[in-house]
C-alpha cells in the first residue's frame, strides 16, 4: 500500500474523478467507511453518544456522512458545525432531515451547547481538517480542539477518532499545530499520508486504520514509498517445499562477537535461524567459541585467530575468505568491536572479489564510515542496517537532519551509494537503489534496547540466504522483527523487553502469516 503526500493524494483524487467516479460518491464511500470502522471498534454503538466536529471542507463532509450512518445504525449522534458549510450541502440536509442534533457555532458564541455535548459524549469524531489544512488553527476552532484535549485529560474514557488525520497534523511533514488533538484512532482515507509516520505527528495518531473509498490502486502505481502490510509480508515469505533439505533454505556465515559483545553473536545467529535459515555458521574468536557453543547448539562454528583475548585478528581474513563460497549470505559486524585488528579485518574482507550477498551492521558500518568514498569501493549486493547515529557517520549528516526526513534521506543515499539501506527506528525505512522505499508500520519503544538490531540483522541475512531479493529480504525482516516486538509488547509491555524475547516469537509470527486466508 502506497504512502502519499498531500499533493499526490489530491492528484489521485482528481484523476479518479476524471475517470468517472463523482466526488460525492468518494465522500459517501469515505463517510461510510469511517462509520464502519468506528462501529467495529466501539461495538455496540447503540446508546453511545457521538459528538462530530464538522469543518468547512471535504473532511467535514466525510464527517456528515459518517454522522448519518452512525445515527441510522442506532447511535446517539450530535453534529457541531465549527465552520460554515455550503448552502447546497446535500449531506448536511440529509443529517437535518433525520432530526439529528445539529448545532452551528455561529449560534453558540459562548460554546455553551458545545460544552454540554462534549461533557456527555462517549466519542468525539474530529472531522475539521484533512490534508488541505496548512495554516495555523485559530479562533473558535482552536478553542474547540483545546477544549476536547482538556476534557480528555480529565475523562480517560472519552474516545477521540480523527478522520484522515488529526486536525492540525501536517500530512507531509508530521508537524503539529499546538491544538492538534491526541487521537485514540485515526481512520485515514484511501491511502496513508507520509506525515502520519513522522514525528511529532505520529504521536497524535493513535491506532491507524486505512479506509478503502473506491480509488483504484493503479492510480498510485507510480508512487515510490509504500507501507509494508500484513498481506505483502505473507506473500513475500519464502516457500517451504515438503521435499526440502537444509540446503534448500540457504546458508548464512556470520562474522560476529567479541569479548565485550558475546551476546550480539548469539542474537544475530538466532535471528537467522528463527526465520527458517537452513544452516548458520558463526565465525568468531576462538576463545569465545566454547562459550557460545553452550548457548547456540544449532549453529556450526568457524573459530578464528585472535589479536587479543576475544578479539578477532586481522589475519582471520584468509580463513574467512577460504570458506565463503559455500554460503549464500555473509553477515558482518554484530558485536565485533572497533579494535584496530577488527577494523583491518573488515576493510580487507569487504573489498575482496566474489563475496556472497552482504548484510552489514554495527561495527562493519563504523569501519565503512572511516573509509573515504567507501561506496565506490564496495561492490556487489549489499544491505546496510544503520541506526540514525550510524547513518550520520556514513553520510556526514547530523542525526537531526536524518530524523527530519527519514524516508527522503534513506532514498537519497540508497540511490547515491547503490546499496539497500535499512534505516532503523520508529517506522523503520527500507530504501532500494532504484528509488523505491518501504516503511514499517511499527513504532515500539520496547525495541529501543541493546541487541534488537542484532536479531534484525540476522533475520535479514537469513531471508536473503533463502532466496529473497535484497529489498524484499530487508523489508520482510523488518516486518517480522517489528511484529514480533508487538507480540512481546502485548504480553509484557514495552518496558523491560529483551532482544532475546523476540526469538521464540518469530516462528509464531511467520506461522500466523502463513495461515492468513488468501482473500484478506
Averaged pLDDT for residues 434-447: 98
CATH code for position 102: 3.40.50.10260
**DSSP letter for each residue of 476-494:** HHHHHHHHHHHHHHHHH-S
Query: How far apart (Å, rounded) are the C-alpha atoms in residues 2 and 374?
Result: 32
**Is the confidence at residue 517, as pLDDT, over 80?**
no
Q: Are 402 and 392 in contact (CB under 8 A)?
A: yes
The least confident of 152-156, 436-440, 480-484 is 152-156
Query: How far apart (Å, rounded) are the C-alpha atoms in residues 345 and 348?
Result: 5
The answer to whether residue 73 sits within a structural domain is yes
Query: How far apart (Å, rounded) are the C-alpha atoms in residues 491 and 484?
Result: 11
CB atoms within 10 A of CB 107: 8
Query: How far apart (Å, rounded) are the C-alpha atoms in residues 285 and 316?
Result: 9
**DSSP letter for each residue of 453-482:** HHHHHHHHHHHHHTT--HHHHHHHHHHHHH
Residue-averaged pLDDT of the chain: 97
The answer to whether residue 520 sits within a structural domain is no
Residues 184 and 238 in one domain: no
Residues 120 and 72 in one domain: yes
Cα-Cα-Cα-Cα dihedral sign, residues 409, 411, 416, 417:
positive
**Is the confidence at residue 520, as pLDDT, over 50?**
no
Residues 162 and 243 in one domain: no
Q: Which of 280, 288, 299, 296 is CA-nearest to residue 260?
A: 288
HSE-CB for 424 with a 13 A CA cutoff: 26
Residues 198 and 241 in one domain: no
CB atoms within 10 A of CB 418: 15
The answer to whether residue 50 sits within a structural domain is yes
Instruction: Give Cα separations from 298 to 335, 386, 417 (angstroms).
Output: 20, 28, 36
Q: Are 45 and 38 in contact (CB under 8 A)?
A: yes
Q: Residue 360 has what pLDDT? A: 99
Q: Residue 353 has what pLDDT? A: 87
Residue 417 gets the label, from left (phi > 0), alpha (psi -120 to 50) or beta, of alpha
The answer to whether residue 519 sits within a structural domain is no
Q: At what angle do helices 452-465 and 262-274 cross, to 10 degrees?
A: 40
| 486: confidence class by pLDDT, cuts 50, 70, 90 | very high
- Distance from the Cα of residue 181 to its chain's centroid: 22
pLDDT in tens, 124-180: 999 999 987 668 999 999 999 999 999 999 999 999 999 999 999 999 999 999 999
Residues 159 and 289 in one domain: no
Task: Please list the residues that pair with 301 across neighbouring strands.
Answer: 282
HSE-CB for 151 with a 13 A CA cutoff: 22
**Is the confidence at residue 519, as pLDDT, over 50?**
no
**Helix or strand or coil: residue 225?**
strand
Residues 306 and 325 in one domain: yes
Question: Phi and psi for 382 in degrees, rounded to 5?
Answer: -135, 135
pLDDT in tens, 327-345: 999 999 999 999 999 999 9
The answer to whether residue 118 sits within a structural domain is yes
Residues 267 and 211 in one domain: no
**Is the confidence at residue 518, as pLDDT, over 80?**
no
The answer to whether residue 480 sits within a structural domain is yes
pLDDT in tens, 394-416: 999 999 999 999 999 999 999 99
Instruction: Give Cα separations from 223 to 130, 338, 373, 393, 431 (angstroms).
Output: 20, 40, 31, 29, 14
- Distance from the Cα of residue 500 to its chain's centroid: 21
Is the peptide bond between 483 and the residue preceding it cis, with omega within 30 degrees of 0? Answer: no
> Which of 195, 223, 251 corresponds to the end of one domain?
223
**Is the confidence at residue 241, as pLDDT, over 70?**
yes
**Is the confidence at residue 120, as pLDDT, over 70?**
yes
Q: Strand 437-439 to strand 429-431: parallel, antiparallel, or no bridges (unpaired)?
A: antiparallel
> Which of 223, 248, 282 corresponds to the end of one domain?
223
Question: Phi and psi for 420 in degrees, rounded to 5?
Answer: -80, 130
Across 231-365, the runs of DSSP E, i.e. the strands, are 251-255, 279-285, 300-304, 306-308, 311-312, 329-332, 357-360
> Which of 172, 202, 223 corresponds to the end of one domain?
223
Query: How far apart (Å, rounded) are the C-alpha atoms in residues 28 and 73?
Result: 16
Residues 209 and 258 in one domain: no
Q: Are 282 and 302 in contact (CB under 8 A)?
A: yes
The answer to whether residue 288 sits within a structural domain is yes
- Distance from the Cα of residue 167 to its chain's centroid: 22
Query: How far apart (Å, rounded) are the C-alpha atoms in residues 137 and 246?
Result: 60
The answer to whether residue 139 sits within a structural domain is yes
Q: Give long-range contacts, CB 8 A cutoff, 24+ apart: 207-210.
A: 208/441, 209/37, 209/185, 210/1
Report the predicted TM-score, pTM, of the whole model to 2 decimal places.
Answer: 0.96
**Is the confidence at residue 271, as pLDDT, over 90?**
yes
Query: How far apart (Å, rounded) are the C-alpha atoms in residues 64 and 56?
Result: 11
Pseudo-torsion of CA 131, 133, 134, 136, nearest 10°?
A: -140
HSE-CB for 478 with a 13 A CA cutoff: 33
E strand or H helix at 502: helix 499-502
- Domain boundaries, position 145: 6-223
Residues 203 and 330 in one domain: no
Residues 69 and 155 in one domain: yes
Residues 218 and 237 in one domain: no
pLDDT in tens, 58-115: 999 999 999 999 999 999 999 999 999 998 999 999 999 999 999 999 999 999 999 9
Total domains in the fold of the chain: 2
**Helix or strand or coil: residue 517?**
coil
CATH code for position 250: 3.40.1190.20
First-to-last alpha carbon distance for the chain, in angstroms, is 14
Residues 157 and 282 in one domain: no
Amino acid at each position: 500500500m502506497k504512502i502519499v503526500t498531500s499533493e499526490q493524494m489530491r492528484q489521485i483524487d482528481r484523476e479518479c474523478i476524471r475517470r468517472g467516479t463523482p466526488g460525492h460518491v468518494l465522500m459517501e464511500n469515505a463517510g461510510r467507511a469511517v462509520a464502519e470502522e468506528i462501529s467495529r471498534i466501539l461495538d455496540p454503538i447503540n446508546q453511545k453518544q457521538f459528538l462530530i466536529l464538522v469543518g468547512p471542507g471535504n473532511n467535514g463532509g466525510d464527517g456528515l456522512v459518517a454522522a448519518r450512518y452512525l445515527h441510522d445504525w442506532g447511535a446517539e449522534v450530535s453534529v457541531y458545525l465549527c465552520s460554515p458549510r455550503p448552502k447546497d450541502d446535500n449531506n448536511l440536509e440529509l443529517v437535518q432531515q433525520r432530526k439529528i442534533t445539529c448545532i452551528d457555532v455561529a449560534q453558540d458564541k459562548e460554546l455553551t451547547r458545545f460544552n454540554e455535548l462534549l461533557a456527555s459524549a462517549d466519542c468525539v469524531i474530529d472531522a475539521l481538517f484533512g490534508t488541505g489544512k496548512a495554516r495555523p488553527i485559530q479562533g473558535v476552532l482552536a478553542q474547540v480542539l483545546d477544549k476536547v484535549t482538556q476534557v480528555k485529560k480529565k475523562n480517560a474514557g472519552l474516545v477521540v477518532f480523527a478522520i484522515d488525520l488529526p486536525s492540525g497534523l501536517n500530512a507531509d511533514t508530521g508537524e503539529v499545530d499546538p491544538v492538534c488533538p491526541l487521537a485514540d484512532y485515526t481512520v485515514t482515507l484511501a491511502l496513508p499520508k507520509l506525515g502520519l509516520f513522522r514525528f511529532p505527528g505520529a504521536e497524535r495518531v493513535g491506532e491507524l486504520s486505512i479506509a478503502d473509498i473506491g480509488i483504484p490502486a493503479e492510480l498510485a502505481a507510480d508512487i515510490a514509498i509504500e507501507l509494508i502490510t500484513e498481506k505483502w509480508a505473507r506473500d513475500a515469505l519464502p516457500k517451504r517445499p515438503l521435499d526440502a533439505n537444509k540446503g534448500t533454505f540457504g546458508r548464512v556465515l556470520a562474522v560476529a562477537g567479541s569479548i565485550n559483545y558475546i551476546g550480539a553473536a548469539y542474537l544475530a545467529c538466532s535471528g537467522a535461524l528463527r526465520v527458517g535459515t537452513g544452516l548458520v555458521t558463526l565465525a568468531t574468536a576462538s576463545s569465545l567459541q566454547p562459550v557460545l557453543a553452550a548457548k547456540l547448539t544449532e549453529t556450526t562454528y568457524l573459530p578464528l585467530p585472535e589479536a587479543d583475548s576475544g578479539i578477532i585478528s586481522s589475519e582471520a581474513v584468509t580463513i574467512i575468505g577460504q570458506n565463503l563460497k559455500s554460503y549464500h549470505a555473509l553477515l558482518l559486524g554484530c558485536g565485533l568491536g572497533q579494535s584496530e585488528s577488527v577494523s583491518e579485518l573488515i576493510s580487507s574482507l569487504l573489498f575482496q572479489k566474489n563475496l556472497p550477498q552482504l548484510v552489514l551492521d554495527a561495527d562493519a558500518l563504523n569501519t565503512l564510515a572511516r573509509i573515504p568514498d567507501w561506496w565506490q569501493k564496495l561492490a556487489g549486493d549489499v544491505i546496510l542496517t544503520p541506526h540514525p547515529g550510524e547513518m550520520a557517520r556514513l553520510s556526514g549528516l547530523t542525526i537531526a537532519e536524518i530524523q527530519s526526513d527519514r524516508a527522503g534521506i534513506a532514498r537519497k543515499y540508497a540511490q547515491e551509494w547503490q546499496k539497500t539501506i535499512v534505516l532503523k527506528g520508529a517506522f523503520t525505512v527500507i530504501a532500494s537503489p532504484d528509488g523505491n522505499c518501504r516503511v514499517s508500520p511499527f513504532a515500539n519503544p520496547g525495541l529501543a534496547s541493546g541487541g534488537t538490531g542484532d536479531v534484525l540483522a540476522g533475520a535479514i541475512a537469513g531471508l536473503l540466504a533463502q532466496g529473497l531479493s535484497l529489498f524484499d529480504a530487508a523489508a520482510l525482516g523488518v516486518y517480522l522483527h517489528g511484529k514480533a516486538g508487538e507480540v512481546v509488547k502485548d504480553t509484557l509491555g514495552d518496558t523491560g523487553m529483551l532482544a532475546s524475547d523476540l526469538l521464540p516469537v518469530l516462528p509464531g509470527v511467520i506461522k500466523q502469516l502463513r495461515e492468513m486466508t488468501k482473500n484478506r
